[in-house]
Amino acid sequence: MGGAASGLLLEFLSSEGLKFSLSVRYSGRFKPYNANVRKSGSHLEFNLSREWKSVSDEIVLGLLQSLAARILRAGFKTANMDIYNNFVRSLHLSYPKAATDPCLAESFRRVNSKYFDGLLEITNFAWHSSLRRLASYDYQTDTISVSGVFRGMDELIDYLIYHELLHKKLKYHNAGGRSIHHSAIFRQMERKFENQELIERQISRMIRNQKFKY
């Protein structure tokens, strides 16, 4: 599966008045279900993780259309793009829960109980060593990662876990060819965290001192 998607994309781009050649390559260098695209003149080079080889053509076509829309700054929206986004939003349900950390898992239990009525399913957890990223949620692998600089700072860890769990709960939506991850509803729910403003000020000081990217 996935082999016919490139031909379908060429037909689609042509119907939009966009004349491009393209190539699709699968690589083991990516995390599961990741992908990117590069533009060189009138050529688009798509690089996909190997997992996409076993995914249906209609979903892969939606992925390729989404990447093309982003790099070409085109506003088209298709049914296949919706199918692809629904697929990505559902990946966390089937992805194995093998990566864990006692500290982050305990933070998850506190946050899940207090703010989500214990209804969110367990997530993969990991520390990372980057000083440019506080925390992140990977939709493809259902993994929350937190910068190791926060070790021992339970209140800040809980807030970061809460922020990333909001991504897991609310997912994202697409508008104008862009994926919107921090919607008005997201920001409204984010403010429900206890002492949110105080914690944000603490994090802001850390960002200034450590040059984090949030």
DSSP string, 68-119: HHHHHT-----HHHHHHHHHHHHHHHHS------HHHHHHHHHHHHHHSTT-
Contact (Cβ atoms closer than 8 angstroms) between residue 59 and residue 83:
yes
Q: What is the mean pLDDT of the chain?
A: 89
Q: How many Å apart are CA 127 and CA 131, to the nearest integer? A: 12
Q: What is the mean pLDDT of residues 20-46?
A: 92
> What's the CA gap between 150 and 135, in Å, rounded?
10
pLDDT at residue 199 above 90? Answer: yes
* Cα dihedral sign, 11-15-20-24: negative
User: Are 108 and 137 spatial neighbours (Cβ–Cβ below 8 Å)?
Assistant: no
Q: How far apart are CA 35 and CA 140, in angstroms?
A: 11
Both structure tokens of 131: 């000083």
Q: What is the pLDDT of residues 83-114, one digit of tens each?
A: 998 888 888 777 777 768 999 999 999 999 99
Residue 138 has pLDDT above 50, yes or no: yes
Residues 6+ apart with CB under 8 A from 85: 62, 66, 172, 174
* Predicted TM-score of the model (pTM): 0.66
pLDDT at position 80 over 90: yes
Q: What is the pLDDT of residue 214?
A: 47
- Residue 10 predicted with pLDDT over 60: yes
pLDDT of residue 11: 92
3-class DSSP state of 25: strand
Helix axis angle, 154-170 relative to 102-115, nearest 10°? Answer: 60
Percentage, residues of the chain above pLDDT 70: 95
| Residues 6+ away with beta carbon under 8 Å from 167 | 137, 139, 181, 186
Alpha-carbon distance of 49 to 26, in angstroms, equals 5
Long-range CB pairs of 40-46 (<8 Å, 24+ gap) are 44/20, 44/68, 44/71, 46/6, 46/22
Average pLDDT over residues 119-134: 89
Reported confidence tier of residue 190, pLDDT bands at 50, 70, 90: very high
Residue 163 has pLDDT above 70, yes or no: yes
Question: Where is pLDDT greater, at 211 or 72?
Answer: 72
Classify the phi-psi angles of 169: left when phi > 0, otherwise alpha if psi is within -120 to 50, otherwise beta. alpha
The answer, yes or no, to whether residue 213 has pLDDT greater than 60, is: no
What is the structure's pLDDT at 3?
Answer: 64
For 139, the token pair is 């939709």
